[in-house]
Amino acid sequence: MKAVLEFVLPEEESEYTSSVNGIKFQSVLQDFDNMLRADIKYNNNISKEVLEKVEFIRAELHKLCLERNVSVWD
Residue 72 has pLDDT above 90, yes or no: no
Percent of the chain with pLDDT over 70: 99
- Which burial class, exposed, middle or buried, applies to 39 when counting CB atoms under 10 A from its CB (0-12, 13-18, 19+)? middle
Q: From CA 68, how far away is CA 29, in angstroms rounded?
A: 13
How far does CA 64 lie from the centroid of its chain?
9
**What pLDDT is stored for residue 74 in this prediction?**
61
Three-state SS for 69? coil
Task: Delimit the domains of the chain by residue range.
Answer: 25-74
- Residues 11-35 pLDDT 10s: 999 999 999 999 999 999 999 999 9
